[in-house]
Amino acid sequence: MIRRKDRVCPVEMAGALDIGIRKCFQNPEKILSPLIRTGMTVLDFGCGPGFFTLAMARLVGPSGKVIAADLQDGMLDIVRNKVRGLDIENRVLFHQCPENALDVREKVDFVLAFYIMHEHPDPTSVFKEVAAILNPGGCILIVEPPFHVSRKAFAKTVNDAESQGFALAGSPRVFMGMTAMMKR
Ligand SMILES: C[S@@+](CC[C@H](N)C(=O)[O-])C[C@H]1O[C@@H](n2cnc3c(N)ncnc32)[C@H](O)[C@@H]1O
């Protein structure tokens, strides 16, 4: 079912997602290091200003890749500027998504969907696309903000993923996050 999108976080709000103190309660390395290994290709779906993208690039190492994907080119520009000149620059690929789809063709080992699914107009089609590009054993970690998303709405998102062949494989603890790790 296609949901009406509530709102898309504007580029002007990017700074709020990127404040230093966020690392104290949502440490990207701590959240992602159990899930990302050297050499993986990983997707940061709805990457925003790249709060998680840079940590993902460090975790995949020089032989891995991160696809930073977002609807808004303004968000991607922020990430482009952040990685420019860093040793991780060549590991980060940029992808601007159309509004209703993911449209990534590359096979990936892990997908992060942090605070994005409630903004997406068609989660079911995203999960269908993710199912098609995930390598065997891969997973998607969905994290939604409890201050914007009700438990019922979160359960519906998990249901949408299940309708595309995913099963709940865990629920890692994230401060200010309802989480679902989904595997095929
Ligand atoms: C609340 S921000 C979260 C950013 C980042 N994941 C974080 O946690 O810092 C949501 C992001 O999802 C992006 N987004 C919203 N709808 C999207 C869509 N249909 N396709 C791709 N990205 C989308 C927005 O542009 C925004 O950058």
Span 126-151, average pLDDT: 96
Q: Is residue 11, in this structure, part of any structural domain at all?
A: no
Mean pLDDT for all residues in the chain: 95
Q: Is residue 3, in this structure, part of any structural domain at all?
A: no
Alpha-carbon separation of residue 28 from 12, 79, 116 (angstroms): 22, 15, 16
Q: Which atom of ligand 1 is nearest to the CA of 113?
A: 6
| pLDDT tops 60 at residue 36 | yes
| pLDDT tops 60 at residue 26 | yes
Q: Which of 3, 71, 176 to mutate to test the pocket of ligand 1 (most atoms within 8 A of CB)?
A: 71
Q: Which atom of ligand 1 is nearest to the CA of 26?
A: 8
Percent of the chain at pLDDT above 90? Answer: 95
* 62 burial via Cβ count (<10 Å: 0-12, 13-18, 19+): exposed
Q: Is residue 61, in this structure, part of any structural domain at all?
A: yes
The CA distance from 4 to 124, in Å, is 13
Q: Is residue 14, in this structure, part of any structural domain at all?
A: no
Q: Is residue 17, in this structure, part of any structural domain at all?
A: no
CATH number, domain of 59, equals 3.40.50.150
DSSP label of 174? B
With a 6 Å cutoff on the Cβ, whether 99 touches ligand 1 is yes
Domain interval for residue 124: 25-183
Predicted confidence (pLDDT) per residue in 87-121, tens digit:
999 999 999 999 999 999 999 999 999 999 999 99
Q: pLDDT grade, residue 7 (50/70/90)?
A: confident
Span 167-178, average pLDDT: 97
Q: Is residue 20, in this structure, part of any structural domain at all?
A: no
With a 6 Å cutoff on the Cβ, whether 72 touches ligand 1 is yes
Q: Which atom of ligand 1 is nearest to the CA of 98?
A: 20
Cα 5 to averaged position of ligand 1 atoms, centre (Å)? 12
Q: pLDDT grade, residue 6 (50/70/90)?
A: low
Q: Which atom of ligand 1 is nearest to the CA of 5?
A: 16
**The two structure tokens encoding residue 112:** 């992060």
Q: Which of 94, 116, 126, 176 to mutate to test the pocket of ligand 1 (most atoms within 8 A of CB)?
A: 116
The total number of structural domains that make up the chain: 1
Instruction: State phi, psi for 64 to the nearest 5 degrees.
Output: -105, 180
Alpha-carbon separation of residue 160 from 98, 118, 164 (angstroms): 20, 12, 7
Cα 8 to averaged position of ligand 1 atoms, centre (Å)? 7
Span 129-135, average pLDDT: 98
